[in-house]
Amino acid sequence: MKLIPLLLVLATIANAQKNIANFSVWKPKDGQAANFEAGYKQHLRWHLINNDTWNWYGWYFIAGPRDGQFLDATFGHSWDEFDHRANPTGDAVDNALHTEPFANFLAGYKAVRLALSAPEDSVVLGSRLMRMLTIQITNTEAAIKFVGTLKQKVRKFLAYQVVDGGNLNQLIVFIGSDSFEEYGKSAGLIDKLEPQNGIGSIMSETLVLRRDMSINLY
């Protein structure tokens, strides 16, 4: 096979992989948390009415630097699916009407699921609690290898690398738990960091799933 056709085939395969997740971070305005929740739920209804088949998960940060902020995410997409979203113009209009008046949009970024990650399914993403590790990396290969060792120590595990909209030298790990007792078992997960691990720092935050602010869950 000639080089150019081979590259086209490889590009097609890469584009078809459903391994892209999209994240958005919101901060409810002072005194507007209840209105934000009501507006966000109304916006989710817009997605359902417009036959949006994407999954949308919603969490609140309940511990860490972003305590009180809201994270929404959709998982398992190929790059070309972002060219074919459900009525993007109407989505923006409804978003401006029901959510933006009550919260500040702080960030939006995409991440690719690492090959060593567990599958994205309701067992992991449907967990009541999620430990979110944001890992600053200095060596990608070494850091991914180190993250792979964490997977062996927990039952519910997802791992991503940021690819757009944020710090590209960053990995994100989610560890799901259904109780604080289970959550506590991951507290001592990382005993010691060595320079050869390729990791500069790790931030741990706690998320709680809001099923009433989520739709089309796995």
The answer regarding whether domain 21-213 maps to CATH 3.20.20.80 reads no
Strands 70-77 and 20-28, by their bridges, are antiparallel
Q: What is the 3-state secondary structure (H, E, C) of 64-84?
A: CCCCCCEEEEEEEECHHHHHC
Q: How confident is the model at residue 136 (pLDDT cuts 50, 70, 90)?
A: very high
DSSP 101-139: TTEEEEEEEEEEEPTTSPP-SHHHHT-SEEEEEEEEES-
Q: What tokens were used for 13?
A: 């395969």
**Residue-averaged pLDDT of the chain:** 90
Query: How is the chain split into domains, by residue range?
Result: 21-213
Torsion of CA 167, 199, 197, 118, to 10 degrees: -60
The C-alpha atoms of residue 106 and residue 53 are separated, in whole angstroms, by 25
Model pLDDT for residues 35-88, shown as the tens digit of each residue: 999 999 999 999 999 999 999 999 999 999 999 999 999 999 999 999 999 999
Q: What helix, strand, coil percent values describe the chain, rounded to 5?
A: 35, 35, 35
- The C-alpha R_g of the chain, in whole angstroms, comes to 18
Query: What is the per-residue pLDDT across 1-45, written as a single tens digit (0 to 9) for each?
Result: 444 444 333 344 444 689 999 999 999 999 999 999 999 999 999
Provide the pLDDT for residue 82. 96
